[in-house]
Amino acid sequence: MSAILERITESNRVIRGYTDQKPDIAIILGTGLGKLAEDIKNSVVIPYEKIKNFPVSTVPGHGGNLVIGQLGEKSVIAMQGRFHYYEGYSMQEITFPLRVMKELGAKVIIISNAAGGMNRFFHRGDLMLIYDHINLMGDNPLIGPNEEKMGPRFPDMSQPYDKELILLTEKIALEDGIRLHKGIYAGLTGPMLETPAEYRMLIKIGADAVGMSTVPEVIAANHMGMRVLGISCITDLAIDGIVEKVHFQEILDAAARSEPIMTHLIKKVIQNIDI
């Protein structure tokens, strides 16, 4: 067995010691979805540090958990706490939990994030369905030896975000009166925000929103043939390239205000996904 498959098997052995539930849907609880974990019933909570081979958090008390249980009628596995490239993790480390969740049975991955909005129709606190992305991180999780059992050497990326899940989410948003944009997410490393010239460049190359996460996980998910749904919470604006000073607390406040709507939308999507 290859080293990566062995590492996944070792992690799964630990998780199987806690539960034999087989989750169908994985959720990365990024900004705007943090509280969704509270709605998972019959849940088993496994701290990352207990799971062999999982990335170890550098911040004490911020280790994160895998939460496995039921959301409505669906079996889910949620990552409470994610890893960012700017924290110093490698792309392979960031995407390792996703590979473990796939091996446990997950066929769909739902990802949320906070992003800066550049499209002139956006307002702070709006939600944006991601229908495509631009990887500007200068790295990706598939560099290195390829494990054919996980996915192909040269994976197709012609539909990185699942069309049916996009349609389902749009339908629910329309029914429930939720303002939902659709756009292209540019993924940069951060941790600094963008300069005015960088925002202008991102607008010119066709991005609607910009953030520091999601792209590695979506690449790994596509590699493994998982269906992806990605949603950004627009926490600040750089429209027409006009950049106002962003205070990180304002980003957190905007995300917190959107959280109930994002949570409602995603819960309803999960209930209605055909697995």
Contacts with ligand HPA by CB under 6 A lie at: 114-116, 190, 193-194, 210-212, 235-236, 251
Report CA torsion sign: 206, 212, 214, 217. positive
Query: What would you measure as the largest C-alpha separation in the chain, in angstroms?
Result: 53
Instruction: CB nearer to ligand HPA: give 194 or 259.
Output: 194
- CA 248/CA 39 separation, integer angstroms: 28
Tokens of 34: 């943090």
Instruction: CB nearer to ligand HPA: give 37 or 210.
Output: 210
- Other C-beta atoms within 10 Å of 93: how many? 18
Instruction: CB nearer to ligand HPA: give 190 or 241.
Output: 190
- CA 132/CA 197 separation, integer angstroms: 22
What lies within 8 Å, CB to CB, of 167 at 6+ separation is none
Angle made by CA atoms 187, 102, 31, in degrees to the nearest 5: 40
Contact 53, 60 (CB under 8 A): no
- CA 90/CA 67 separation, integer angstroms: 23
Q: How far is the CB of 111 from ligand HPA (least distance, A)?
A: 14
Q: How far is the CB of 76 from ligand HPA (least distance, A)?
A: 25
- Phi, psi values for residue 17, rounded to 5°: -70, -20
Q: How far is the CB of 133 from ligand HPA (least distance, A)?
A: 13
In angstroms, what is the C-alpha Rg of the chain?
Answer: 18
Please identify the residue of the shown chain whose CB is closest to the bound ligand HPA.
116
Instruction: CB nearer to ligand HPA: give 48 or 199.
Output: 199
Closest C-alpha to 183, from 208, 158, 164, 217: 208
- Other C-beta atoms within 10 Å of 87: how many? 16
Instruction: CB nearer to ligand HPA: give 162 or 208.
Output: 208
Q: How far is the CB of 219 from ligand HPA (least distance, A)?
A: 18
Q: How far is the CB of 235 from ligand HPA (least distance, A)?
A: 5
Q: How far is the CB of 99 from ligand HPA (least distance, A)?
A: 25
Q: How far is the CB of 117 from ligand HPA (least distance, A)?
A: 8
Instruction: CB nearer to ligand HPA: give 17 or 196.
Output: 196
